[in-house]
Structure 1
Amino acid sequence: MSVNDRVINIDELALEHQKQGERFETRAARVGPRVGARDLGYSFDVVPPGKTACPFHSHRAEEEMFFIVRGTGLLRYGSQTRAIRAGDVICCPTGGPETAHQIVNDSDAPLEYLSVSTMMPAEICEYPDSGKIAAFGGGVRHIARPDQCLDYWDGESPPPAAQP
């Protein structure tokens, strides 16, 4: 890749519209692949007023950072909330419910932010609002609730008998 392929302006991104129900909506672009990123994921989101891009969640393997480009909103982080605005840098390290996070546009104008995350081969996410746990990696994408958990030995049988 040339140096020109390593730079992209957010105003030139082709944003894809994503919507789920009445609460979740964004126009977003995955930037990392476009600039040749290998170990970090980059995304740019534009969230309309009154919406959020994703559920309240925490990561066990991947760390995330957000940079607020334009607008204002609300950061949910663990059991706390705080106002956020253009220029803010937000760190979301790995952990459990105490590091769960979500950016909400509680304003009357679009909220734009850049997210950067480590790209791990496997990830576990927890969703405190809905009680879900998700496992991602190696082609596996599994989302369940803890009460749907199987025992470690479920379905295992004894090894075949040795042949004389």
Structure 2
Amino acid sequence: MADQTNPVISLGGLKLDQWEQGTLYKSADTSFGALLGLRGLGISYNEVPPGKSSCPFHNHHVEDELFVVLEGEGTYRFGEAHLPFKAGDVLGAPAGGKDTAHQIINTGPVPLKYLGVANNAATEVCEYPDSGKFQVTSRPAGAANRLRHCGREGQNHLDYWDGEPGA
């Protein structure tokens, strides 16, 4: 594994965090931009088993995201579209409203492996159209932890997975 001063890492050497939520969400993933010394760019490596997704359908108000598909195939929910993709494809998710909401679903027979890249905004708002939630995140400079609040208009703090299909 690389240390924070190493500008080269091996994807095969990354320690992945495995997790599962409900019937639809499961992934082995890790963020590694900091290992390369990057501060303003977030990079993750994700492995998603067949029939699963690594996150709910969502849109960002500030951050742009891009996904580079290394292995596998799936369906990219983008706005109202359901678009097929395969290894070698690059998926864009620009900041915006519900028309840029997105979700990667592994609809193929083998694990889906991809890189996720995003600009790390100090403050972000995400919306989750399937569940009607929003999430506000702040990453104060120099702070070890971030502030994260999930809610619905007119309701108090909610669990991140509240109301998500298959969660």
Q: What are the within-5 Å matches in structure 2 for residues 55-74 of structure 1?
A: 55-74=56-75
1:110 paired with 2:128, answer no
Q: What are the within-5 Å matches in structure 2 for residues 47-62 of structure 1?
A: 47-62=48-63
Aligned-pair distance for 1:86? 0.6
Counterpart of 1:78 in structure 2 is 79
Aligned-pair distance for 1:31? 1.2
Which structure's CA Rg is the greater one?
A: 1
Tell me how far apart the structure 2 counterparts of residues 21 and 28 of structure 1 sit (CA, whole Å): 17
Tell me how far apart the structure 1 counterparts of residues 91 and 154 of structure 2 sit (CA, whole Å): 33
Unpaired runs of at least 5, structure 2: 141-145, 157-167
Unpaired runs of at least 5, structure 1: 150-164
Counterpart of 1:130 in structure 2 is 131
Runs of at least 4 residues off by over 4 Å:
none
Deviations 1:23-60 (A, max 9, x none): 10000011111111111000000000100000000000
Tell me how far apart the structure 1 counterparts of residues 105 and 49 of structure 2 sit (CA, whole Å): 9
Aligned-pair distance for 1:66? 0.4
Tell me how far apart the structure 2 counterparts of residues 103 and 21 of structure 1 sit (CA, whole Å): 17
Percent of matched pairs sharing the same residue: 41
Aligned-pair distance for 1:64? 0.4
1:19 paired with 2:20, answer yes
Q: How many residues align?
A: 148
Counterpart of 1:40 in structure 2 is 41
